[in-house]
Structure 1
Amino acid sequence: MATYKKRGYKPKKEKVVEEAIEETFDESQSDVAKAFDGLDEAANKSEQWIEKNSRPLFYGLVAIAGLILAYLLYTKFIAEPTEIEASNELAYPRTFFDQAETAAGVKADSLYTLGLEGGDGKYGFLDIASTFSGTKAGNIANYYAGISYLKMKNYKEAIEYLSKFSSDDELLGPTALGAIGDAFADINQPKDALDYYEKAANKQANDFTTPLFLFKAGQTAMQLNEFSKAESLFTQIKDNYATTQIGRNIDKYINSAKYAQ
């Protein structure tokens, strides 16, 4: 007997698979629709929030723009001119400071005093540090004032002004800290001196200030009978700065600290 397949007939298994695919597709479409509905809802809420808060947002943007503009105007018309003025004022007392560095005795003290206090209507370091506080020139005026007082043996004032000075300069930063250490050493406060000598040595590593203040720290530690610490400080010089002037003779100090323990 002849057999034939009915037109359009599908096996039961294929029909089940097709129905499953159609069902999955319908679910996917539903999920996509829900996602778009969620996005629409979020967008509507965002629009409503913006409409509700449009005035505060506007005022906020205006305030931010105003702050930026004020900062730019302050920098251009106040900060920069003030910085230039302070820098120009600094030239006068520095002349006396430089002269004092090559003088001695009463003459040197008189020149340091002129540098500190100014004259002939010109500012000295003290005036510049106070009047132009916050400027680079005001900051450096603290340094010069502190060093001037240190040279005049006014140690309290030296510590005060040098403590106000801050710098990441390779030489000035460590030198200022070391000068505070010198001031404490001269008023017989060796523990404070040791602290500042170590700060100075660790401020900016270089072949000049670092071995110098490590050496001063070591000597101060010896004075405090902290012989192990002194040996460690002297050894740092030997390990890292052996070719410097201080480093060439450091062995005898290491041995002194070692045998004192």
Structure 2
Amino acid sequence: MATYKKRGYKVKTKVEKEKEVPAEEIESTTAEVFNTLDETASKTEEWVAGNQKYIFVGIGAIAVILLGYLIYSKVFSAPKEVEAANEVFQANSYFNQAINIDLNQDMLKGLAARDSLFNLALNGGGGKFGYLNIISEYGGTNAANLANYSAGIAYLNLNEYKLAVKHLQEFNSDDIIIGAKAKGAIGDAFIQMEDPTVALEYYEKAFQHSANDATTPIYLYKAGVTALDIGEASKALSYFKRIENEYASFKNTADGKMLDIYIGKAEALNN
């Protein structure tokens, strides 16, 4: 009788038959896997059961910390921020008056009035807090942080350079303008203290803080002039050239009108 192969059916070779895994072996392997999982789960359950006390203590501690933070934020921190903002109003008023005094009309009287207003801003007047009171009484608030900046600028104008540096270094801000100006003001203080090397570091931090038309060219210029003064002509030239290429409008300012002269000087020293 004739034999035939069913369509699609392939006769297995001896090697393929030898490679086949018996069903009993597959079942045995599967059972081992599940047994291992069961043992792991049992050990985990045992560990949890044996350490329940510590687990609950840990969870409780986290809950207490979170609850304490929420209570502090709602009950203490927020009202403190509002109170500090109200208290600093008068100090800000003195500070703004001092900044806006026109020294061109009568220099001596203007300087005396300005210094008086800066001192009032720092120490308070009329029964109101000054910046130093805000810093000591409301530490950790936004008002105290900003008070450090304003106190630093006040001391800088009063020629108290070490105090200016102290408060400006305690100020922290990511604001693209004020953050840069704080670092630049520290540079100004070190220039006055005749430490141009450190001043240069802060001018560089000031223009690196952010790229904008308001502050970047100013501190690039100050960094360039300072670098030139301490013999770093190559660095100075790179800063002056960056102003020329990226901040052309700076040439319309009083300092900017000197830019070409400084570029020429830096190029001559660099060759």
| TM-score relative to the length of structure 2 | 0.85
Deviation track 1:138-186 (CA, whole Å, cap 9, x = no partner) reads 1100000000011111111111111111111111011111111111111
1:134-149 equivalences under 5 Å are 134-149=140-155
Cα distance, 1:119 vs structure 2: 2.3
Of residues 163, 170, 184, the one that matches 1:164 is 170
Of residues 49, 63, 66, the one that matches 2:64 is 66
Distance 1:82 1:237 in 2: 44
Cα distance, 1:52 vs structure 2: 1.0
Deviation track 1:115-155 (CA, whole Å, cap 9, x = no partner) reads 00012332110111122222111110000000001111111
Distance 1:159 1:64 in 2: 40
Distance 1:92 1:50 in 2: 60
Distance 2:51 2:268 in 1: 78
Of residues 127, 133, 138, the one that matches 2:133 is 127
**Unaligned ranges ≥5, structure 1:** 4-12
Distance 1:238 1:93 in 2: 40
The aligned amino acid for 1:109 is D
* Other structure's SS at 1:259 match: helix
Alpha carbons of structure 1 residues 24 and 109: separation in structure 2 relative to 1, 3 Å: same
Q: Is the 8 A contact 1:125 1:142 kept in 2?
A: yes
The aligned amino acid for 1:216 is K
Cα distance, 1:64 vs structure 2: 1.2
Of residues 191, 199, 202, the one that matches 2:197 is 191
Q: Is the 8 A contact 1:143 1:176 kept in 2?
A: yes
* Other structure's SS at 2:72 match: helix
1:179 counterpart = 2:188 = no
Deviation track 1:1-53 (CA, whole Å, cap 9, x = no partner) reads xx9xxxxxxxxx99x99x97996110000011111111111121112111111
Alpha carbons of structure 1 residues 229 and 22: separation in structure 2 relative to 1, 3 Å: closer
The aligned amino acid for 1:30 is S
Q: Is the 8 A contact 1:242 1:248 kept in 2?
A: no
Q: Is the 8 A contact 1:181 1:194 kept in 2?
A: yes
Cα distance, 1:248 vs structure 2: 6.9
The aligned amino acid for 1:100 is A
Distance 1:106 1:249 in 2: 31
Deviation track 1:204-261 (CA, whole Å, cap 9, x = no partner) reads 1101111001111111122223222211111111121123335676333211211234
1:29 counterpart = 2:38 = no
Distance 1:107 1:46 in 2: 76
1:255 counterpart = 2:253 = no
% identity of equivalent residues: 44
1:93 counterpart = 2:91 = yes
Distance 1:166 1:59 in 2: 37
- CA-atom RMSD in angstroms: 2.5
Distance 2:123 2:258 in 1: 42
Max Rg structure: 1
Q: Is the 8 A contact 1:100 1:108 kept in 2?
A: yes
The aligned amino acid for 2:23 is F
| TM-score relative to the length of structure 1 | 0.88
Question: Equivalent residue for 2:74?
Answer: 76
1:241 counterpart = 2:247 = yes
